[in-house]
Structure 1
């Protein structure tokens, strides 16, 4: 008899503190281990690290890491922050990211997210009632077989 894994989600609220991304990565590892998804941990940590660092470096307020598994073999890693400005490259699906110069110390994070995630996107949130507005950048990881290039995105 097959078992069905229930959906789950976790949200970790983070202050604007340089230690917050590291705390979030450790929390992510713990959650993936608890749900028997340790094989996703290295890529999930990379995606979370890039999204969290982007929120920390380019916004002034708090931010949050959200993990969601609506399917047993797919995890969504999302980072919310208070700034509604969408980073270049996340605003349009087909838009190429500008490649930073070879000797640049920054600017490769969103390249990594787009290259390593099975799907990615952004939601701009409006301030309604209890909502704080801002944006939610997300990346999906699938535990199952990867589609071949001929299958499309």
Structure 2
């Protein structure tokens, strides 16, 4: 009789307050999770992109955020960041807003979502709630890296 081994799947979820230190906490969480699961090859890009998304929730919203880091069975890592603001920014939205032009070289902001395009294998956004009663449900932005996907694609 053979042994059945389950795929190396796991999930970490973290609630983040509206605090300028939230991006640092998210980076530390990602680093600890990926190191503990031996996912060193994905660490730098996942840490960078997670930090960018969480920083944007602090910069562009006034409420809490949530982070979810998921290892999928095929080796991909998916990171989702939720916040209460309903607007889905480029490159996560529908075309023609699916690409973000590079930020001017002399600016200090505006590079984060362009980095998602460069380093993630796929990404997307989902507005949560369709009725006026759900207007504070917010959105979920996500990206994936690693695994067996070839090429980078935007997915809504």
Structures share a fold, TM > 0.5?
A: yes
RMSD: 2.7
Q: Does residue 1:31 correspond to 2:33, yes or no?
A: yes
Say which SS state the counterpart of residue 72 (structure 2) adopts: strand
Structure 2 residue corresponding to 1:114, chosen from 107, 112, 117: 117
Is 15-24 or 67-76 further displaced after alignment?
67-76
1:136 aligns with 2:140: yes
Report the count of equivalent residues.
150
C-alpha offsets along residues 27-52 of structure 1, whole Å, 9 cap, x if unaligned? 11111122221221111101101111
Question: Which consecutive residues of structure 1, in runs of 5 or more, have no partner in the other structure?
Answer: none
* Cα shift at 1:136: 0.7
Shift of 1:98: 3.2
Match of 1:18 in 2: 20
CA offsets 1:62-110 (integer angstroms, 9 cap, x no match):
0011111222411101110010111133212563323332211111111
Q: Could you tell me whether the CA contact under 8 Å between 2:22 and 2:55 is conserved in 1?
A: no
Which consecutive residues of structure 2, in runs of 5 or more, have no partner in the other structure? none
Q: TM-score, normalised by structure 1?
A: 0.85
Which residue is 2:58 aligned to?
56
Aligned counterpart, 1:103 = 106
- The change in CA–CA distance for 1:93 and 1:68 in structure 2 (over 3 A counts) is farther
